[in-house]
Chain A
Amino acid sequence: MSSDVFAEGIKPGRLDQESYEAQFSDLHPPLDAHEALVAADRCYFCHDAPCITACPTDIDIPLFIRQIATGTPDAAAKTILSQNIMGGMCARVCPTETLCEEACVRELAEGKPVLIGQLQRYATDHLQEQGIHPFERGAATGKKVAVVGAGPAGLSAAHRLAMMGHDVVVHDARPKPGGLNEYGIAAYKTPDGFAQGEVDWLLKIGGITLQHDAKLGQGITLQGLRDAYDAVFLGIGLGGVNALGAEGEDKGGVTDAVDFIADLRQASDFATVPIGRDVVVIGGGMTAVDAAVQAKLLGALNVTLVYRRGRDRMNASAFEQDLAASKGVRIVTHAVPKAVHGNGAVREIEFEYVDEDMNGTGQTLRLAADQVFKAIGQTLEGDDLPELDGRKIKVDGTGRTSLDGVWAGGDCASGGDDLTVTAVAEGRDAAMDMHGVLVG
C-alpha cells in the first residue's frame, strides 16, 4: 500500500499506475462466444415475454437471444438496435436487475435470470466491432430538424429522423457528443472509449451534422431554431445541480458529483485526478454511487455515502448499493446535511439523523471530510422553454411539448425514469411522431 493513501487533502496519484488500470477495468468483462452460447441456452423463449415488457425500448429479447443461440449474433444485434440504437451502451449501464432481468421467468424459477444485459452486449459488440452499420437512410424528405442535446435522447431521435430521410443538425454544449454517456457514467462501466465509438458508429447512418459549443441561450435560441428548422427536438438533460441547503456548503472541497464524474471520464490518466482522503458523497442515486465508488477506486481511504432516507428508497439499485459496499463504501442512511465545517476548506460535515418522515431527531453525526460530493439531484436549466410539468418540460406520450413543432425527451422531459434506456426510447418515439407530422 502506498503511503499516499493516508495523506490528508485532495491529492492526485494516491495509487501506483497498475492499480488504476486494475481498478477501472471493465465492471462486467464481456462474454466470450462460448459463455454467450451457454447463457443464451438458458432462455425459455417465453410467450409475450415479460422481459420485453420490462424493457423501456421493447427490445425483442427472446428473439435476439435465440439468434445468438443459433449462431447469428449480427442478426441479434439488428433486432436490438432496431428498437434501441444505443443497445451497446444500454447493455453496459442499464440497471437490468430492475428491468429485463428482474422480469425474467428464470429469476422467479431459480433466482438466476438469463444474462440479458451481457448477451445484448455480446451481440451489439459483435456487430459494431466489425464496423457494420445495419441501417440505411430512407429517401430524402427535404425536411430539416434541429436536435438540442447530443445525449441518448437527442442522438436516438437524430438517428431515427435521419433514417426516415430527414436532415438533422444536433447542437450540444459540450466539446464531445454523447451527453451523459460521455460525461455522466462511471468510467468502469464504459471503458476504452466505448461512448465515443458508439456515437461514431451511430453517425454512420449519415444525414446528421454535429454542432458543438451551442446551447439554448448561448449561440442558439429555441425561437431561432423553430424559425430555421421544420421541427425541433429538445434532449437537453438536466444541466443544474440541486443545492444542499446546509450551512457552509460554499467551502472549498465541496463540489458537484456530476463534475467529478465528468472530469474523471475525460481524464487521460486517472493518476492525475485528485481525490480526498476522507470523501463524503451526499445522495442516493446512480450518480451518488458512481461518485462514491470511483472515489474509492481512486484511492480515497474513507468514502461515506450519506442518504436522507432508507436504503429501500434509494434510486440506486440493490446491485449498485452492493457494488458500492463491496468496494468499501460505507452507506449511512436517514441523515441530512446540516453544516459544513472547516476553515476555508471543508474539514468535517455534520448531519442530523431523521426518521422515515424526514423529521429531525436532534441526533447528529460528524464525519471527517476533505472532499464532499453533492449528488442530490439535477435540475432543468434554460429560459423560454416550453410549458413545464413540475420541474420538467411537459410532454405527451410521443414527446410533443406545448409549442408547435417542438418535441422533447430524455431527462429534461416529464414522464419516465431518468435512465439512458428511457431517453433512447423517448427520442425514438418522438422522432417517429415528428416524422409523421413532417411528411403528413
Chain B
Amino acid sequence: MADLTSNFIGIKSPNPFWLASAPPTDKAYNVRRAFDAGWGGVVWKTLGLDPHVVNVNGPRYGAIYGADRRLLGLNNIELITDRPLQTNLDEIKEVKRDYPAQAMIVSLMVPCEEEPWKMILPRVEETGADGVELNFGCPHGMSERGMGSAVGQVPEYIEMVTRWVKANTRMPVIVKLTPNITDVRKPAEAAKRGGADAVSLINTINSITSVDLDLFAPEPTIDGKGAHGGYCGPAVKPIALNMVAEIARDPGLQGLPISGIGGVTTWKDAAEFLALGAGNVQVCTAAMTYGFKIVQEMISGLSDYMDSKGITSVDEIVGRAVPNVTDWNQLNLNYIAKAKIDQDLCISCGRCFAACEDTSHQAIAMSEDRTFTVIDEECVACNLCVNVCPVEDCITMEAMAPGETDPRTGKVVQPDYANWTTHPNNPAANAAE
C-alpha cells in the first residue's frame, strides 16, 4: 500500500481525493458519510450571505447516457447552499472537530464588494476550516446576480476579489475557475496576481443536456421552461484535462498549485489529472452517480499503480506528463506508425472497416471470411480504428523503425526529429541554417 497522504498548499489530507463543492457536501450528514467512506477532504458546498438562496422545486439535474444507461454527463441548475449561513458554519465546525485529519475547505460566494468578504471570512476561520475556495465558476443563476462565473469571466474581478480575500484571512485561498471562457490562462494569471495559493478547475460548463420533444423544452424542464445548467461528469474530463495542462505548462504560471476537477470517476482519471499537473483532485459526479464508496477503488487503484511504478509519494506523479504536452507544431512529422490488428483478439465485428472505409482512408481490407487487415499502403495511422474497436488492445499503433520504407509514401523513415516549423510546406518555415 503506497503512501497516499497529500499536502496541497499546506493542507494535509490522508489521500488526494477531495469531494468538490457541490450537492454531496451541503451538510454535516453527507460529509460525515463521505469521511467515513474514506474521502481525504471535502470542499463544503458554497456558502453565501443570508437570506439564503432558494432553489427550484422541479428537476435540478439532466443527464446524458452511454450504453446500458451509464451516466456520462450531468447537468445541474442547483444554486449555492440554500440553508442559513450559521447552520452551515456550525456544522462545518462540528465536523472538522470530529474529523481533524481530513481536509475541510469552505467554498464561498458573496457579492463583488469587499465588505461581505470581510464579514464572512472571520466566521469561516472560526470554524477551524483548513482553507477557502472562491467560487468564481458557478455558471447558472448566481452568475445572473453578478457572482460565480460572472466574476470568473473577468480576470480583473478575479484579481480584485482574490486580493481582498488574501488581505482578510490567514487561510489558504483556492480560486475556482470557470471553463466558460476562451483562454483559461487569463483567469489563472489573475488569480495568481491577486495572491491565490492555488486554482481549482474546472467548474461546470454551460449546457443544455437534451430537449423534450413533446414539450419542445430544454431539460431539465421546470414547468415547461429550462435554463442552461452546469455540465459535469465523465464527458467533461477531456476538456478539464486540457485546461489543467494549459495552466501547468504555461511558463508564467509555473508553480501555481492546481486542484484538478472535471469528470474524475476512477483512480486512473485522478492519476491523469495529477500527471498533468494537478496537486490533488476533486470529485463530484462520480460520487453522485455511485455513492461515496467509489473512493475505495480510487485509493486501491492509485496505490497499486504507485506500487507498480515504484512511486512512493503522490507528489512524484504530479506534473510528470506536463513536459510532454506541447503545441502541434512541435510534433515529430518523421514519426510514422501503422495500425495493426491482432487476429487472435479480433471478433470480426467490422467496425474498423466501416469507419475506415466510409469516413477515413480506405486502409482496412475485409476478406470473404471477415478477416480484417490493415493496408499499410493507405494507413495514415489516424487511430480511428483503435478508437471504434470494441476489444481493448485488439488494434494497436505500431511505430515504424527508422530506415524502413513507409509503403504509403515510398519514403524511408528518418531517424531525426522534424516538426512543422521547419517543414518545406510551411510558408513560414524557419530556415534550417
> A residues near B, CB below 8 A?
37-38, 41-42, 44-50, 105-106, 108-109
Contacts and interface: CB of A to CB of B under 8 A. Distances in A.
Contact of B390 (A44, A47, A48, A50): A44
Given A41-B68, A105-B347, 19 more contacts: A41-B67, A41-B69, A42-B67, A42-B68, A44-B349, A44-B351, A45-B351, A46-B349, A46-B350, A47-B353, A47-B354, A48-B370, A49-B350, A50-B348, A50-B370, A106-B347, A108-B347, A109-B347, A109-B390
B391 interface: yes
A50 B349 CA distance: 8
B68 A46 contact: no
Interface residues of B, number: 14
B67 A48 contact: no
19 contacts: A37-B69, A38-B68, A41-B69, A44-B351, A44-B390, A45-B351, A46-B348, A46-B349, A46-B350, A46-B351, A47-B354, A48-B366, A50-B348, A50-B370, A105-B348, A106-B347, A108-B347, A109-B347, A109-B391
A104 to B, nearest CB: 9
Contacts of B349: 44, 46-47, 105
Instruction: Rank and list the top 7 A-B pairs by shortest CB-CB distance, nearest first.
Output: A47-B350, A47-B354, A41-B67, A46-B349, A105-B347, A109-B347, A105-B349
Interface in B80-118: none
Contacts of A44: 349, 351, 390
B347 A48 contact: no
Contacts of B67: 41-42
The residue among B348, B349, B351, B390 with the most chain A CB atoms within 10 A of its own CB is B349
Nearest to A47: B350
A102 to B, nearest CB: 13
A49 B354 CA distance: 11
Contacts of B366: 47-48
Contacts of B370: 48, 50
A108 B68 CA distance: 21
Contacts of A42: 67-68
A109 B351 CA distance: 14
A106 B67 CA distance: 15
A71 to B, nearest CB: 10
Contacts of B354: 47
A106 B353 CA distance: 17
A48 B367 CA distance: 12
Nearest to B391: A109
A436 B422 CA distance: 66
Contacts of B347: 105-106, 108-109
B258 to A, nearest CB: 36
A108 B348 contact: yes
A46 B352 CA distance: 9
Interface in B250-302: none
The residue among B67, B354, B366 with the most chain A CB atoms within 10 A of its own CB is B67
A38 B351 CA distance: 21
A38 B391 CA distance: 19
The residue among B69, B348, B366, B391 with the most chain A CB atoms within 10 A of its own CB is B348
A57 B106 CA distance: 65
B119 to A, nearest CB: 52
B211 to A, nearest CB: 14
Interface in B317-369: 347-351, 353-354, 366
A48 B391 contact: no
A37 B67 CA distance: 9
A37 B68 CA distance: 7
A49 B349 CA distance: 7
A37 to B, nearest CB: 7
Contacts of A50: 348, 370
A106 B391 CA distance: 10
B394 to A, nearest CB: 10
A81 B349 CA distance: 25
B68 A47 contact: no
Interface string B48-82: 00000000000000000001110000000000000
A54 to B, nearest CB: 12
Contact of B351 (A37, A41, A47): A47
A41 B349 CA distance: 15
Nearest to B370: A50
A118 B295 CA distance: 38
Contacts of B68: 38, 41-42
Nearest to B68: A41
B68 to A, nearest CB: 5
Contacts of B390: 44, 109
Contacts of B391: 109
Contacts of A38: 68-69
The residue among B347, B353, B390 with the most chain A CB atoms within 10 A of its own CB is B347
A3 to B, nearest CB: 50
Contacts of A41: 67-69
Contacts of A105: 347-349
Nearest to B353: A47
A105 B349 CA distance: 6
B254 to A, nearest CB: 45
Contacts of A109: 347, 390-391
Contacts of B353: 47
A109 B316 CA distance: 39
A49 B353 CA distance: 12
B297 to A, nearest CB: 23
A49 B390 CA distance: 15
Contacts of A106: 347
A379 to B, nearest CB: 37
The residue among A45, A49, A105, A108 with the most chain B CB atoms within 10 A of its own CB is A105
Contacts of A49: 350
Interface string B4-33: 000000000000000000000000000000
A105 B390 CA distance: 10
A45 B355 CA distance: 12
Nearest to B348: A105
The residue among A38, A42, A47 with the most chain B CB atoms within 10 A of its own CB is A47
Nearest to A62: B349
A347 B161 CA distance: 100
A105 B391 CA distance: 11
A37 B65 CA distance: 12
A65 to B, nearest CB: 12
A38 B70 CA distance: 11
A38 B66 CA distance: 11
A114 to B, nearest CB: 11
A205 B248 CA distance: 68
B405 to A, nearest CB: 31
Nearest to B352: A47
Nearest to B364: A47
A48 to B, nearest CB: 6
B387 to A, nearest CB: 14
A49 B67 CA distance: 19
